[in-house]
Structure 1
């Protein structure tokens, strides 16, 4: 289904996107970041926090060195109170994701992953490759929302085309 090389590319892409989003938002007043804009997770910062929360929960299942975030999905928009706190946590996790992806072997993407899903309120068993693909797809989904929120706020949203990612990203 997927390869370690795919995971490495998507880990690079995610870190590149997150740096661009931070750069686009750096210096914006809290009111701009926290204004409820009608998105599923409310604000720009709420959506960024949910995305970080989702990455943390999935990575905690893939890599035992990553701690699961506190609280469930409903509390995920409040994970970090400021853009600076979000950025520090995001930078740290992006490093963990890249390290994990760079150390993957094909065999690591075979077999099943078993966990208790708070969202589904039950034990779940799914192919690990599907779960990894879901994590990267979840990132893309919410970054699309963030792009729309930035545009609605009158800000310039960063380029998100995968084929435009710099080689050194």
Structure 2
């Protein structure tokens, strides 16, 4: 499996898992999504919003990639978060809409990747304003890894709230070899 195929698999996994979290959120009683749970980002919605914030920040950085990924145009128009614990989506409906925009943009960008795009060095500033210069492929891998990390936290919070999101393993999306 090539690196491009691996990123395509991660994009599919990302969208699949985000849909599972949305399905789980729909099962919660009123108020449970925003209930303080002692998690790093407070509530389930706080945790999900952190992913919205981080994905927005990274995808906005990726708009500066010289490939000029057209799929990221919808992200460029989004407001830039002020902090990692911002709540751009105050309810489930706004979260679902924003998650769809971000997942579509990320999947579209990954679908457009060419091998040479992975070798580009991306210049950006971190959240503290410090100039950074890093290879694009590991940054893209970080985006997927970061999502997996916080979705794991969210799945625990859902389980504690009485909702099992089900199987979360990447091999569920890896085709059997014949």
User: SS at the partner of 2:125?
Assistant: strand
> Match for residue 115 of structure 1?
124
| Partner Cα separation in structure 1 for residue 174 and residue 161 of structure 2 | 27
Query: Given the superposition, is the C-alpha separation of residues 99 and 74 from structure 1 closer, same or farther in structure 2, using an over 3 Å criterion?
Result: closer
| Partner Cα separation in structure 2 for residue 137 and residue 71 of structure 1 | 20
2:80 paired residue among 70, 78, 81: 70
C-alpha deviations, 1:45-74, integer Å up to 9, x for none?
Answer: 011011011111111122352225433334
Residue 161 of structure 2 is aligned to residue 142 of structure 1:
no
Runs of 4+ with deviation above 4 angstroms: none
Q: How many residues align?
A: 164
Residue correspondence of structure 1 range 80-159 to structure 2 within 5 A:
80-118=89-127, 120-159=128-167
Q: Is the 8 A contact 1:50 1:79 kept in 2?
A: no
Q: Is the 8 A contact 1:147 1:158 kept in 2?
A: no
Report which stretch shifted further, 134-143 or 90-99.
Answer: 90-99
C-alpha deviations, 1:76-127, integer Å up to 9, x for none?
Answer: 2x11010111001111211111111101011001031111111x43111111
Unaligned runs of 5+ in 2: 64-71
> Match for residue 24 of structure 1?
24
User: SS at the partner of 1:42?
Assistant: coil
Q: Is the 8 A contact 2:53 2:81 kept in 1?
A: no
TM-score by length of 2: 0.85
TM-score by length of 1: 0.89
Q: Is the 8 A contact 1:50 1:73 kept in 2?
A: no
Q: Is the 8 A contact 1:57 1:69 kept in 2?
A: no
| Partner Cα separation in structure 1 for residue 96 and residue 115 of structure 2 | 31
Q: Is the 8 A contact 1:16 1:165 kept in 2?
A: no
